[in-house]
Structure 1
Amino acid sequence: MEPTPIDRLDAIVAELQAKKDEWATLPIPQRLDLLRRCLEHAMAAAEGLVRASCKHKGIAFDAPVSAEEWLAGPVVIVRNLRLLHESLSQIRDHGRPQLRPGSSRRRADGQLVVEVFPQGFLDKLLFAKLRAEIWMQPGETEASMLESMAWVYRDLASQKGKVALVLGAGNVSSIGPMDVLYKLFVENQVCVLKMNPVNEYTGPHVEASLKPLVDAGYLQVVYGGADVGAHLVHHAGVDEIHITGSDAVHDIIVWGPPGEQAENKANNAPKLTKPITSELGCVTPVIVLPGNWSEKELQYHAENVATMVANNASHNCNAAKTILTWKGWAQRESFLARIQEILSSVPPRVTYYPGSDKKYDGFLEAHPEAKALASRGEGKVPWTAIFGVDAQNADDVVFTREAWCGVIAEAALEAKDEDEYASAVVDFANDKLWGTLSCVLVADPATQRRLGAGFDDLVARLRYGTVGVNAWGALSYAFAITTWGAFPGHSLDDIRSGIGVVHNTLMFKNPQKTVIWAPFTIAPKPPFFVTHRNGHQVAKKMLQFEYSPSFWKFPGIAISALGG
């Protein structure tokens, strides 16, 4: 794609400035019409988006591996649009998005928790007993939560507009458009979306998907490198910024070039003074609580972890990076061996993200004992296991640096028994691993029953924006009704995984984190599993379901899923 010329960037910002107040006060019926039409356009653009993504990532469009591009692309975009349409319809009719009766609970410490998924019978039918909760920030009451939901719609006619710059991610096709939808419909800001050069090929498909918003003048899509981004970041007509990317790029934007950052931070002299929110990655832990698992259960969770590593060539901010286990767990070696066996059967992927091969080399230099599970090919790095890392070495690269390639590490913690380990491993994840975006907590039913309320306390103690209990945290991203972002508390001078959330279609103002609760195993196998033999066919049927949910679409999905 040709970079958008500077004079055109200036014109685009001026056009958005001229439209921002119109958007800010646009009545709900017109917004609903835009969302409905975007749904139609997103469906029409879906196959083109997936084909382009598969081509540029070096995977086959007509193979099961393409399921990840359907599921992390048009399926979640369409779901997000539909859920926003539902929320705005409820705001029109009731003043706020509606919660199911009895969906709220309070923990013993008073923290308010709201179950937001499943929303109804079809969710329960399709998603196999999965549940999702949004935990509110401490001090939030049910009254204050309800009062602040959908806050910009409380007095829409008097709202003042803003222009937001969204700096798109280069790894997943849905991130940019979904960030835009959050800024537009939840925060009420018109947007310029700057495509990331890594996946700028998705830009025309994003524009096609959201064409009604583009045609109405509420969204503009631009292209180019760091110079285009810098021009927009510091443009007087841009009021706020949201970035999905790395903490390094964030700090360049906020604090200046690397050589200036320490002094600028010390003097509290940021180069950027306008508001900026961010989602910046994580050394994602898979925390395994020991148990006596069956062969089937060991295999299921080995496939689950392998999927978290291999999906999208491991170029995911929620990719599993460090497995944490108890050294005394009798099944530890068997579990780790199964993960390696599964990854050995998965063909290495093109490392399409610039710099990933050098990051891989850095991990090998730090850990020459690393076990490559295949040969290194042209433009590809093998899935690589670094198991048995010394948990006492807090500065180890596997704890402090996001790999962004097909490396998976493991560290075993010493503890006198399972209960001491359970407490210690939560502290380790919180205090030793870089980032707070998402984590996975694996625990069998017997362990959860034995711990009782103590298990809920373990979940509460985890300082992550998403906690997936027996589930990949990516589900929180995909559900859209849940929040996606870092755990609250980071600052601009210590940004880690970022500030703020996106998605959140129920429009909670003060969420703390999302918790996904999954059964210990799910059958049939989830279509996103890297071992699924028919995932792409399931994904295409799920797209039709998300566009227009119906009981009559369920049998077709189930039949395809059983082929996995």
Structure 2
Amino acid sequence: MPPVPDLVTAAAPAPGSLLSGGPAAAPAADAGAARGAETPPAELDRALSELGDAALGFARMPPREKASLLRALLPGLLAAARPQVEASCAAAGLDPGSAAAGEAWLAGPCATLAQVRLLAEALEDVAARGRPRLRRGAVRARPDGRVEVDVFPAGLKDAALHGPLRARVLMQPGATRAGVLEAQAPFYRQRDPEGGVALVLGAGGAASVPLRDALHKLFVDGRVVALAASPESAPLGALLERALAPLVSRGLLRFVYGGADAAAYLAAHPAVAEVHVTGAAAAHDALVWGPPGPQQAGRRASGERLLHKPITSVLGGVRPVLVMPWLYGRDELWFQVRLLASRVVSSASLGDPAAHVLVLPRGFVQRPLLFRMLHRALAAVPPRRAVHPEAEARHAALTAGRPPLERERLEGSADAPLPPGVVRIGEAGPGAPPWTLIAGLSASDPAEPLFSTEPLCGVLSIVEVGSSDPVEFLEAAVRLCNDRLQGSLGASIVAHPISEEDPAVGAALDRALLELRYGVVAVNQAPAAAHALVVPPWGGHPSATLADIQSGLGFVHNTAMLAQVEKTLLRAPLTTFARPPSSCDHRRSHVVGERLAACAADPRWGNVARVAAAALRG
């Protein structure tokens, strides 16, 4: 059976933030929450008390018992998958029976079910041999002495489902091959762990994002979890609470609801030992440094924190796509342009694959062809409802004062720089801004808002740097990404494999992969593939600080339980023989997603074959 490429790079519809009070698709807790009510303070206190009572026992629960607990979650989560997808589609205005619903399947239930099963397998390994299993030869030293760990694929079934997609983890400087193995699963190396209560503030992308972070806190970090979300997420709450009954009934997981006041109350509560934030950097900074304004700036400058607890976070940010100069075949360029368009489409729903800034080489001879293809791909998808409550205002602010740009000028000769302006594609509808290209940005402009603002909707800006020389381009593009763009979550590079046969170009690409300050760097793939696979670590680059948080501190997922992680590196071929189900023009993406959810829970060969059959018919 031929491998099926790229099954997991689309994202589910996006909710808003607990801290911003926007709509959310995260799980809810109880009947009161199901009516959209905030959890009263007395119930918050009771939930934290119940979690505290269970914390020590859970911390010292044998790994094999935890693995059994995880496996007990699979039937309930699988039964809840379709209703979860339907709720996500309703929030985004999508037909749950259409191919567009594949986004909700792939980044929602599929990824959560895979995480639960993979964590169970990892803990069974911990019980048997002290650490999660890695393939023979997975830990290796690079020629420069840095250590990398191959984490995906782990076996034949991974290869059958995901084709030639590869993921490896670059460890921090100073890590050694022996040290990587000795440091795996650090929580489970403690003799008598104390555990504690972790608060997970849910926000952002797919419905399963805060839930998956909570599962990481539970089974990798050994904490019991209070998962907080905005009341608007409540319609899904009772459903997921039933699915997670083995955790809820033991007092290991509690769902609570509220806005910014509830978040601040919970974070400061003495029963909470640590805090994990998802969503926007502004929400994180408000907790750590106080409300925006001069006092926040003063506290940040002096290091005077308001919250003196361990804090981890996975936050948003501006995500670039770099296109290395090369004479690509038309089919090769069309394949990558369709993936780029799919990322723009998913960003209308705040999907993790969202692409925000397209970085092109100056004088790129295929620039006109690229833009003709991009217009064609986006025009084939009607503009979608922007789920985030601030999306339309953000779209208006980012396009204000910029002149309209005729499509013909955007697709004009590559000999001249791109003219500045805005190209709108598709007919806007209620709550659905058109797909928008914003051209002619200056890489030297430190005040460019598109370099510092996540659009929250289908906006792709374009900037040209360097030259048509691949080495010069990569050097200039890395400087732009590291020095100008806000965020450190994910970056991607489109690279022709033949170009790497030139030793100078191959070395320049390797340097770029090392130097880009992002937690995930992907070649010919969306960084969000790492998020959906759940095996690789997912998070911002560790160069961030609490004062300059970028896309957060700490990694989640990471089912190999690696310590000293610097970044995840993804590699995919320039093209694959079949249309990826993550592509917005895949005709059976929703069927692939539903079958992949079943396969994630039970990866027998028959289920793998059913996924492949649907994927190849797209």
Q: Where do residues 484-503 of structure 1 align in structure 2 (5 Å cutoff)?
A: 484-503=538-557
Q: Taking structure 1 as reference, are residues 17 and 204 closer, same or farther at Cα in structure 2, changes over 3 Å only?
A: same
Structure-1 residue corresponding to 2:30 = none
SS in 2 for 1:134: strand
The one-letter code of the counterpart of 1:207 is E
The one-letter code of the counterpart of 2:325 is P
Q: 1:218 aligns with which of 224, 246, 252?
A: 252
Query: Would you tell me which structure has more helix in proportion to its own residues?
Result: 1
Point out where structure 1 has 5 or more consecutive residues left out of the alignment. none
Structure 2 length-normalised TM: 0.89
Counterparts of 1:213 and 1:560 in 2: how far apart (Å)?
34
1:108 CA drift (Å)? 2.4
1:180 CA drift (Å)? 0.6
Is the Cα–Cα contact under 8 Å of residues 362 and 468 in structure 2 kept in the other structure? no
Counterparts of 2:121 and 2:392 in 1: how far apart (Å)?
43
The one-letter code of the counterpart of 1:513 is K
Q: 1:437 aligns with which of 483, 489, 492?
A: 489
Structure-1 residue corresponding to 2:563 = 509
The one-letter code of the counterpart of 1:291 is W
The one-letter code of the counterpart of 2:433 is V
Q: 1:405 aligns with which of 448, 457, 460?
A: 457
The one-letter code of the counterpart of 1:186 is V
Is 2:377 aligned against 1:342? yes
1:247 CA drift (Å)? 0.8
Is 2:176 aligned against 1:124? no
Q: 2:146 aligns with which of 111, 121, 133?
A: 111
Is the Cα–Cα contact under 8 Å of residues 166 and 191 in structure 1 kept in the other structure? yes
Is 2:467 aligned against 1:425? no
Q: Which has the higher contact order (CA 8 A, sep 6+)?
A: 2
Counterparts of 1:413 and 1:132 in 2: how far apart (Å)?
28
Counterparts of 2:376 and 2:601 in 1: how far apart (Å)?
37
Is the Cα–Cα contact under 8 Å of residues 347 and 353 in structure 2 kept in the other structure? no
The one-letter code of the counterpart of 1:397 is P
Higher mean C-alpha displacement, 471-480 vs 217-226: 217-226
Structure-2 residue corresponding to 1:272 = 307
1:521 CA drift (Å)? 0.7
1:426 CA drift (Å)? 1.6
The one-letter code of the counterpart of 2:435 is W
1:246 CA drift (Å)? 0.6
Q: 1:539 aligns with which of 590, 593, 601?
A: 593
Counterparts of 2:367 and 2:233 in 1: how far apart (Å)?
39
SS in 1 for 2:258: coil
Is the Cα–Cα contact under 8 Å of residues 316 and 404 in structure 1 kept in the other structure? no
**What do residues 70-119 of structure 1 show as CA deviations (whole Å, max 9, x unaligned)?**
11111000000010011001111111111111112222221100110000
Q: Taking structure 1 as reference, are residues 366 and 86 closer, same or farther at Cα in structure 2, changes over 3 Å only?
A: farther
Point out where structure 2 has 5 or more consecutive residues left out of the alignment. 1-35, 404-420
Higher mean C-alpha displacement, 103-112 vs 412-421: 412-421
Structure-2 residue corresponding to 1:229 = 263
Counterparts of 2:547 and 2:396 in 1: how far apart (Å)?
29
1:491 CA drift (Å)? 1.2
Is the Cα–Cα contact under 8 Å of residues 466 and 472 in structure 2 kept in the other structure? no
**What do residues 494-513 of structure 1 show as CA deviations (whole Å, max 9, x unaligned)?**
11111111000110111110
Is the Cα–Cα contact under 8 Å of residues 436 and 465 in structure 1 kept in the other structure? yes
1:199 CA drift (Å)? 3.4
Higher mean C-alpha displacement, 29-38 vs 308-317: 308-317
Q: 2:235 aligns with which of 197, 201, 204?
A: 201
SS in 2 for 1:370: strand
The one-letter code of the counterpart of 1:540 is E
1:395 CA drift (Å)? 2.2
SS in 1 for 2:400: helix
Structure-2 residue corresponding to 1:388 = 440
Q: Report the aligned-residue RMSD.
A: 1.4
Off by >4 Å, runs of 4+ in structure 1: none
Counterparts of 1:84 and 1:275 in 2: how far apart (Å)?
24
1:483 CA drift (Å)? 0.6
Identical positions, percent: 38
Structure-2 residue corresponding to 1:161 = 195
Is the Cα–Cα contact under 8 Å of residues 325 and 468 in structure 2 kept in the other structure? no
Is 2:347 aligned against 1:293? no
Is the Cα–Cα contact under 8 Å of residues 321 and 402 in structure 1 kept in the other structure? yes
Structure 1 length-normalised TM: 0.97
Counterparts of 1:415 and 1:399 in 2: how far apart (Å)?
20
Is 2:44 aligned against 1:13? no
Is the Cα–Cα contact under 8 Å of residues 282 and 318 in structure 1 kept in the other structure? no
Counterparts of 2:466 and 2:52 in 1: how far apart (Å)?
58
1:170 CA drift (Å)? 4.1
Counterparts of 1:540 and 1:35 in 2: how far apart (Å)?
21
Counterparts of 2:369 and 2:88 in 1: how far apart (Å)?
36
Q: Where do residues 8-157 of structure 1 align in structure 2 (5 Å cutoff)?
A: 8-156=43-191
Counterparts of 2:588 and 2:39 in 1: how far apart (Å)?
40
Structure-2 residue corresponding to 1:263 = 298
Is 2:397 aligned against 1:362? yes
Structure-2 residue corresponding to 1:467 = 521
- How many correspondences in the alignment? 563
**What do residues 495-554 of structure 1 show as CA deviations (whole Å, max 9, x unaligned)?**
111111100011011111001100111231111111111100111111111111122223
Counterparts of 1:201 and 1:151 in 2: how far apart (Å)?
37
SS in 2 for 1:487: coil
Counterparts of 1:453 and 1:529 in 2: how far apart (Å)?
31
The one-letter code of the counterpart of 2:607 is K
